[in-house]
Structure 1
Amino acid sequence: MVELKVRKIGNSLGVVLPKEVVSRLNTRDGEQLYLSETPDGGYRLVPFDPEFENKMSKAEDIMHRYRDTLHVLAK
């Protein structure tokens, strides 16, 4: 567990991530992080869009179902 302090940054509030957290998230200045709510009421911070996997799954299903059509269109 890492304790973070909420700080005033201009008219907003923010947290400063320690070096080890930034390293573990594999992120850097200017990159996006995603904060999502967990089923137990907590929060999860990740360096990737959690909805992306769901979107890719749907896209792969469409590509599989319409494989022949997409192949013809690619010519």
Structure 2
Amino acid sequence: MIETKIRKVGNSAVITLTTEMLTILDVKEGDTLFVLRGDDGSLRLVAHDPSLADALAAAEHVMDENRDLLQALA
């Protein structure tokens, strides 16, 4: 487990990603990260993956097209 602190910068709360964290995520300053919420309320940071972004965009398109059906099934 790696510990980091939350601090205030302007009107935002931020965490600092250490060099070790950046290495583990295989990212660098300026890269995009996704924050995924787990069923247990946890958060996961994952590196930007174009195939994931494409899949999410496709899923959003399908959900928009079938909004009424999906709401009826919910």
TM-score, normalisation: structure 2: 0.63
| Residue-pair matches, total | 56
With over 3 angstroms needed to count, the CA separation of the structure-2 counterparts of 1:53 and 1:33, relative to structure 1, is closer
Percentage of matched positions with identical amino acids: 34
Q: Which amino acid aligns with 2:15?
A: V
Q: Which amino acid aligns with 1:42?
A: S
Runs of 4+ in 1 over 2 A off after TM superposition: none
RMSD: 2.4
TM-score, normalisation: structure 1: 0.62
Long gaps (5+) in structure 1? 59-75
Q: Which amino acid aligns with 2:42?
A: G
SS of 2:3's equivalent in the other structure is coil
- Structure exhibiting the larger radius of gyration computed from Cα positions: 1
